Amino acid sequence: MRAAGHFEHNLALLKKRWPEAARRVESVQPLAAGQVVFSRCGEPTLKVLSEAGTEVWLHSRYRPAEEADRQLEALQIGAQDAVVVLGVGLGYPLLSAVRRGRSTTFVVALEKDPAVWRAALECQPLDEFLNHPEAELIVGAAPEELFALLDQKVSRFFAGSIKIFSHPASAQAFPSYYQSILQSLGEFARYGSVVLRSALYLSRIAIQNRFSNLPDYLASPGIRPLIGKFQGYPGVVVAAGPSLERNVEELRRLQGRAVIVAVSTALKILLGRGLQPHLTAIIDYHTISSRYFAGIAPELAAPIVCDPKASAEAIASYSGARFFSNDALINTLLDGSAGDKGDLVTGSTVAHAAFHIARALGCNPIILVGLDLSFPEGRLHAAGTATHEQHFSETSRFYTFEMKEWEWYLSHRKTLMKVPGLNGGEVFTDDVFFSYLREFEQMFQEAPSR
């Protein structure tokens, strides 16, 4: 039943693709005698102690492989589908999922207990899963690890139908863990759909902007000279959310003591109060973003870090120095003749880009101001942004900015949700803001800065 040959063979395959899962397996003791037993048909089955303290059989005591086949039959797995298996037991659900799919079926397996996965490796050959070209495995990890994995595979995950198989006995034994995994999957579905919609919509515009920005890109020294220049200095990322109004005057005390990076939408708010940031940033694709810079005198224009895919009209309208980061497509087409501009991750929003700029500068800690990711007081932006200027003529005491912005929210109310607010109670957010939050959380985990 627990053949040494099975374990060594499976472990060798595991180490090739999932060394962290292999490390976790090797760090746990095998299950106690009597937990893995033969079923009536001679196939191994498994008994575990649930989180409630009761004994749970993870597979049938009669025909465990047949039981798994019957459970997965309803999924109707297709060649391009993504199948998430929550709870693998001795591997029967995994093998059934792989056999029912094709070599192109994306199979993601999660198992709470490394000792259970170790037992699976000991009991039978799992080559079909371990060698499956589109397989991924997470063992003994928090839901955040699943989110990070799927973020790397987002286009593959959404390439076909998404099929989730929650192994009934595993879910019965460890309901808290697998419920948290299901919640994480739901959150990723919101996040990933926003990412893909944005990428598909903006792909053509991104190509156009790249080539329109080409003269400025070639003339720019790039951000390379800035990387690590402010090692150890505090960095302040200033976004244009409504809470900026409460905190903007506090920034005055930080001038000369911290590096201030303002997003493009917040730049005019700071300049209007006599505060000049050290850098600003733009990644916005649309030409309307040129309004963020209209009327800014050259002597007040802080150097701007530009995404090469950002609006060429907006970048051309800016009166300050322009720094570009490397663009893989342009550099490839020009065979490297543009030189090394320095690498910078931008992210989905200009606030993500500003955070990455502060990180590239070497700032530590990094402080976020005006980043609301919700609709506090029913508003999206602080007063003084280009958005408010644009809609000023439409407002009156009977039709305020708040009312105008809430009209948009209510027209998209299917995407709204309530989440806990930082200062207590609940606030409204939506799918887009929620996806931005998850992206920030991933960035924070990877950043060496506090």
DSSP-based three-state secondary structure for 348: coil
- Is a pLDDT exceeding 80 seen at residue 232? yes
pLDDT of the residue at 402: 65
DSSP letters for 279-324: EEEE---SGGGGGGTTT--GGG---EEE-TTS-HHHHHH--S-EEE
pLDDT of the residue at 255: 81
Q: What is the mean pLDDT of the chain?
A: 87
pLDDT of the residue at 430: 80
Q: Report the range of poorest mean pLDDT among 186-190, 231-235, 395-399.
A: 395-399
Mean pLDDT in residue range 267-277: 90
pLDDT band at 431 (very low <50, low <70, confident <90, very high): confident
- Is a pLDDT exceeding 70 seen at residue 227? yes
pLDDT of the residue at 12: 95
pLDDT tens digits, residue range 116-136?
999 999 999 999 999 999 999
CA distance 216 to 312: 9
- Is a pLDDT exceeding 60 seen at residue 7? yes
- Is a pLDDT exceeding 90 seen at residue 10? yes
pLDDT of the residue at 256: 83
Q: Is the CB of residue 265 less than 8 Å from the CB of residue 240?
A: yes
Tokens 């699943």 appear where? 146
Q: Whose CA is closest to 20, among 153, 167, 148, 189?
A: 148
pLDDT band at 386 (very low <50, low <70, confident <90, very high): low
- Is a pLDDT exceeding 60 seen at residue 64? yes
pLDDT of the residue at 305: 93
pLDDT of the residue at 67: 95
pLDDT tens digits, residue range 143-166?
888 888 988 888 899 888 999 999
pLDDT tens digits, residue range 392-427?
556 566 566 667 666 766 766 667 778 888 778 888
- Is a pLDDT exceeding 80 seen at residue 1? no
Residues of the chain with CATH 3.40.50: 4-177
- Relative to beta strand 55-57, strand 44-49 is antiparallel
Query: Between 431-446 and 143-152, two packed helices, what is the crossing angle to 10 degrees?
Result: 100
CATH topology of domain 4-177: Rossmann fold (3.40.50)
| Percent of the chain predicted with pLDDT > 70 | 92
**Structure tokens, 416:** 């709204």
Mean pLDDT in residue range 208-218: 90
pLDDT of the residue at 180: 92
pLDDT tens digits, residue range 67-109?
999 999 988 999 999 999 999 999 999 999 999 999 999 999 9
Q: Is the CB of residue 284 less than 8 Å from the CB of residue 308?
A: no
**Top-confidence residue, 441 or 406:** 441
Mean pLDDT in residue range 248-264: 89
pLDDT tens digits, residue range 306-342?
999 899 899 988 888 999 999 888 888 888 888 899 8
